[in-house]
Amino acid sequence: MICFGFRASNLVFNQFMDKKVQKLIETSIQIIKDASLENGAIVAANSDKEYYPRQAKDYHYVWPRDAAYICVAAQMAGIRTIQEPFFHWLNYRPENFKKEGLLFANYSTNGRMEVDQFQPDQAGSVLWAIYNFYKDDLAKAEKQEVVIRRLADGLCSEWRGKYFFKNTVDLWEESNRKTSTRMENNHTYSLAACAKGLLLAHKMLGNIEWEDVARQMIERIDDSYDHKQKRFLRNHGRIDDPNIDASLLGLTYPFEIILPDDARMIQTVSAIEKNITINGGVHRFQFDYYDGEGSAQEGAGAWPILNFWMSIYYSLRNDRKKSEAYFMWVVEKIKDDYMIPEQIFSDFREGIRPLVWSHAMFLIASKYLGYL
């Protein structure tokens, strides 16, 4: 017996979701434009806007990593007017960047350093964004030669063959998990970002030292695979960190260090799904308590960027069903204002909303699914 009623209702729901996705694309483009300031800075969230919630932490700062993903997503959405102003801002504004060649956690829009934690993944991410912008005509990348060299040379100056000399934090900025020369350890995601960035810098300008350092980093990434636990570790050195972390998706996208169908990557993603994916929502890592409001005794929420990241991963695996499932889990939960938050909670908390990085990852995932 054919259930025409079920088919009809399912068709109506799918049409509704398709329209919601298109509305989210329009909103995401506007959110990115709102975050792209007159002086070239791209903020993580424009808290000056009426729509930004009062209880949320102020994110009116530049995280170069967030800005890198935003630049790439904007380009996918047909926006090519924010990237070069941001590269210019990066060249001239961040405090001590000209002198040290290093990027730290975040900056005020005038370039003042807000948090002095060294985050090497930011430099790698920006190099990826610069390459992505000029990939169709790499000769034009020479316009950014100064900033490319400063970023790449800065990473190499701190690299000691197996680890960074300066203590580093990863993309989640957990200061209690800094690397150290004593432990000779590295954040695996950070290494992937740096290795890819250096390889792309070598492609753009040609420097064998950058390529050599990238190869050393890739060796350390390979070493971070734990054969007993059958997955990559988020931090590897003389003492390993066994906690499962969704940032390891970055090994495949966008940094392409590990192929999506590599058995080691499949095992790592499986561990993420089994341990930190709760009722369909992907969380950052085990024992995460950051919620963006300061009331995280209840624990952190699921991060839309990670659901979209997982969606991208499964798109690369040609698994449309799983890609759509992770993607639509977020889309279904977005409110009528079409703003994507930093986190999605199962209670009353809102946190940061909108987070521009969330909208950027939505656009990238949409592109891979064919909505954009």
User: What average pLDDT does the segment 292-306 reach?
Assistant: 80
Alpha helical stretches, state H, the chain: 4-35, 64-76, 83-92, 97-100, 120-134, 145-158, 188-205, 208-223, 263-275, 304-316, 320-333, 356-369
Beta pairing partners, 282: 277
99-158 confidence digits (pLDDT tens): 999 999 999 999 999 999 999 999 999 999 999 999 999 999 999 999 999 999 999 999
Q: 50-59, 97-106, 250-259, 306-315: which has the minimum mean pLDDT?
A: 50-59
| Tens of pLDDT, residues 260-269 | 999 999 999 9
pLDDT at residue number 4: 44
Question: Which domains are seen in the chain, by residue range?
Answer: 19-273 (1.50.10.10)
Q: What is the pLDDT of residue 295?
A: 57
The pLDDT of residue 277 is 98
User: Which residues does residue 262 pair with via DSSP β-bridges, in sequence order?
Assistant: none
Is the Cβ–Cβ distance between 202 and 214 less than 8 Å?
Answer: yes
pLDDT tens by residue, 152-186: 999 999 999 999 999 999 999 998 999 999 999 99
Confidence of residue 292 (pLDDT cuts 50, 70, 90): confident
Residues 332, 340: Cα–Cα separation, whole Å = 11
Distance CA(221)–CA(188), nearest Å, equals 6
Half-sphere exposure of 247 (CA within 13 A, CB side): 20
Residue 8 reports pLDDT greater than 80 = no
Phi, psi for 145 (deg, rounded to 5): -55, -45
Contacts of 205 (CB under 8 A, 6+ apart): 141, 142, 145, 148, 149
For 351-372, what is each residue's pLDDT tens digit?
799 999 999 999 999 999 999 9
Q: What is the pLDDT of residues 186-244, one digit of tens each?
A: 999 999 999 999 999 999 999 999 999 999 999 999 999 999 999 999 999 999 999 99
pTM here?
A: 0.95
Residue type, 332: E
Average pLDDT over residues 50-62: 91
pLDDT reported for residue 102:
98
Judge contact between 179 and 186, C-beta under 8 A: yes
pLDDT recorded at residue 2: 46
In this predicted structure, what is the pLDDT of residue 133?
99
